Amino acid sequence: MSLLFEYATDQFSPADASLYTASETDLSTGDEAIPVRPIATFASHHADLSHPDRDWTCIPLHSVDTATPTDEFVAYTDHEVRGELFLVYQNGSIEPIAADQFRDTHLATRMRYWHSDYLPDTYPPGYNAPIEDREAPRNPVTDTALLSEFQTYIADERAATRAQNEARARTNTARMLYDRGDAAIPRLQCQAEEAGEYQFRVDLDPALEDRRNDDWAYFVENEFGIYQENEVLIHADADDAPHSFPVAAEVTRIRGLTIWLTVAWETVENTGAVRAYLHGEHTVGCSKRLNPVPFDRERAAVKMLREDPFREVLVGERLLTFSHEAAALSEPHDDELNQEQQLAVEYALLAHDLFCIHGPPGTGKTRTLVEIVRRAVDAGERVLVCTDSNQALDNLVAGNSTSDTPDAGSLHAYGQHGTDEFRLARVNAGRSMQSLVEQRYENSPAEADVVAATNSSAATLPDNFDLLVLDEATQATCTASCIPLARVDRAVLAGDHQQLPPFSATETPPESAYGLSLFEHLYASGGVYEAVGLQLKTQYRMHPDIAYLSNREFYDDSLRTGRVVTTLTERPALEGYNIGGSVSVADTSRVNNTEARLVVQLIQSLLTDTDVPPEKIGVITPYAAHARLLRDLLDKHTEHATALTVDTIDSFQGSEKTAIIISLVRSNADGDLGFLGRPTDGPRRLNVALTRAKRYCAVVGDFHTLRYDSDGKCTELYQRFTEHFESTGRLNDVDPAFLSF
């Protein structure tokens, strides 16, 4: 019902109120019929509105022309013979009135503001709802061809992705691509050819033989990132190979370590030489050219949405209302949620179509979403939970759960392997990198109350769901989000548009809505329904000194710290290390050897001088090549290298560590900041990096390069960034000559 009804219910107690005494005028015919039945039904789900002594639902009345609640009520009961009745006092006795008659009375108008179709001119004192009962689109899409634009974007992304992978394959071997973390198999040995289909055996390095543990299920897919139906490029290993290589092919089957490839001969110039090479004793490699499956699924989902009612929401043709009964049909579970989190849960359950939750780092977004799922299931709803990546999905499903200790902020704690509140399925659980998920969960969505899937894998689900909970929604393109959206009645989107944006292979991503995330398209500043959501404002992760910069630069100082987080012994929570060094290019990526040496030294100091275990320490950098260099150096110069987490900023979103070292890499006189200087996503990457640490964060880089951004893209941001370290006395100048190695 109306958000006002929720407010009135909080102010009302049946024990302290009285049954209304009606006059003849009250029960005479009014000017319009009031929808009393849905109001009564909604009220009947509220345990707080049950009469303490009678089988009544007490429906509060508001004043005649205002929404201010009174201390009077009409009673509702569903009589087994006479049907739905409304009860009032009249002439000293209780008068029953049939629902169809009551809806036409003057008295019924004193319930009208409890329905979302009616809005008062003035609201009760103290009532302050962040959104309206009925939210009109603020920025509707005038171009009715939005879904056609979605299809164009999918085609452009497909072509750009294929072109990028082809360009990399022309300048890199399969081994080189695999070593840098791209999808590739370094060595394949041809076994046979039949009807144009080549059978290859994956030739494993000894280290991979040791890692497999005799389990070949999804090994090729998980280790090399190559899947059935992928387009691939076959690389020739020999120096005298035909110049036609790499040649295009399709993965037709994968069984254990055997992979079957069908060559796209129409794309090969010298077919005879290539055939002879493949039939010879040579080994080959392969790298991914294109995975067409996600694009095909996005295209199909967009087509489905053309005939789906949610299309009206996407373009802003619908008034959004908040009166869904899931809020009343369920009781709160998590009594430790703060007021903002509780409010987000209530609005999400009340929303008929859409609600958005803006969750900055450490504000308990995941915990809030888990509560929404639990209560929706209590209300009899079937819930689809999605994210754009397996890593983010595992975080929501299992979090930090172990086989013995479930993470209370995860769905696992309340599924069949926890308190058994609901049945939980994880699509493609066997491919999860979280061992608990892989071992405990089966892909059995038909039997589940809650189904967890990536956006893409949601395409394999035949069923429709009542509610979609889309986490990390700001990291998924509109078109990827369309896949789960086409399978649900209503949606809750959660994310942070101040963190990483969706990845786009297109050289110049479109400026229109479809180049954004669905979260930004619908909710963020300038979005279709701009105000249909709320921000969580209490962060529990970071020491205030770590949170300060992000809070000021990205969240308008709206965040507050909800608990005491201590610093490490004799160390400030945030400090900078100013060092230059020569930057070299490594395969389109970059490394800074001097900076890497300093990072290793800082890691050694943390391991020696603090009680932070190595598994609680992370190193973040914008560049994959620099991350690889850091891992190599740490392996040589520390005892716990394997326990440390070293990764790119993009891979670190959603993670947290007690201590974080950020290595920025760039050092030049031109003020060229690389990734971090791009106005579209550079500041958002910086925000992600700064908000991963709990108790200690060190920023290592050339602060002169940061200060003098020559292109002027993010000049003011990085000037303020540098000035903060200087003004607080936490910028340490480091002479490379004094590094220990």
Residue 216 has pLDDT above 70, yes or no: no
At 561-616, the pLDDT tens digits run 988 899 998 899 999 999 998 899 876 789 999 999 999 999 999 999 999 999 99
CA 434 – CA 437 distance, rounded (Å)? 5
Res 515: pLDDT: 66
Query: Considering only CA atoms, which of 347, 316, 311 is closest in space to residue 133?
Result: 347
Beta bridge partners of 534: 357
- CB 384 within 8 Å of CB 469: yes
CA 233 – CA 253 distance, rounded (Å)? 15
Take residue 564 and report the two structure tokens written for it.
């005491």
Beta bridge partners of 236: 284
CA 500 – CA 680 distance, rounded (Å)? 10
Residue 266 has pLDDT above 60, yes or no: yes
**DSSP assignment, residue 739?**
S
Helix/strand/coil percentages in the chain, nearest 5: 35, 25, 40
Res 42: pLDDT: 85
Residue 554 has pLDDT above 80, yes or no: yes
Which amino acid is residue 467, in one-letter code? L
CA 536 – CA 482 distance, rounded (Å)? 25
CA 271 – CA 242 distance, rounded (Å)? 10
Cα within 13 Å of Cα(548), Cβ side: 14
Res 205: pLDDT: 82
Beta bridge partners of 619: 646, 661
Take residue 342 and report the two structure tokens written for it.
């509780």
Q: Which of 94-108, 124-138, 403-417, 590-604 has the lowest mean pLDDT?
A: 124-138
Burial class (CB in 10 A: 0-12, 13-18, 19+), 87: buried
Residue 1 has pLDDT above 70, yes or no: no
CA 392 – CA 702 distance, rounded (Å)? 32
At 122-169, the pLDDT tens digits run 888 888 877 888 889 999 987 778 899 899 999 999 999 999 999 999
At 315-358, the pLDDT tens digits run 999 999 988 888 888 889 999 999 889 989 999 999 999 999 99
Which contacts of 335-341 are long-range, i.e. CB under 8 A and separated by 24 or more positions?
337/364, 337/367, 337/368, 337/371, 338/364, 338/538, 338/562, 340/534, 340/535, 340/536, 340/537, 340/538, 341/367, 341/368, 341/371, 341/536
Query: Considering only CA atoms, which of 78, 115, 57, 99 is closest in space to residue 325?
Result: 115
Res 382: pLDDT: 97
Res 511: pLDDT: 52
Band (pLDDT 50/70/90 cuts) for residue 31 is confident
Q: Which of 180-184, 236-240, 452-456, 708-712 has the lowest mean pLDDT?
A: 708-712
CA 509 – CA 498 distance, rounded (Å)? 18
Once rounded to an integer, what is the mean pLDDT over residues 542-553?
96
CA angle 237, 243, 244 (to 5 degrees): 95
Q: What is the pTM of this model?
A: 0.88
Residue 623 has pLDDT above 70, yes or no: yes
Residue 518 has pLDDT above 60, yes or no: yes
Res 421: pLDDT: 96
Alpha helices, DSSP H, located in 283-338: 292-305, 311-315, 326-329
**More reliable by pLDDT, 225 or 134:** 225
Res 413: pLDDT: 96
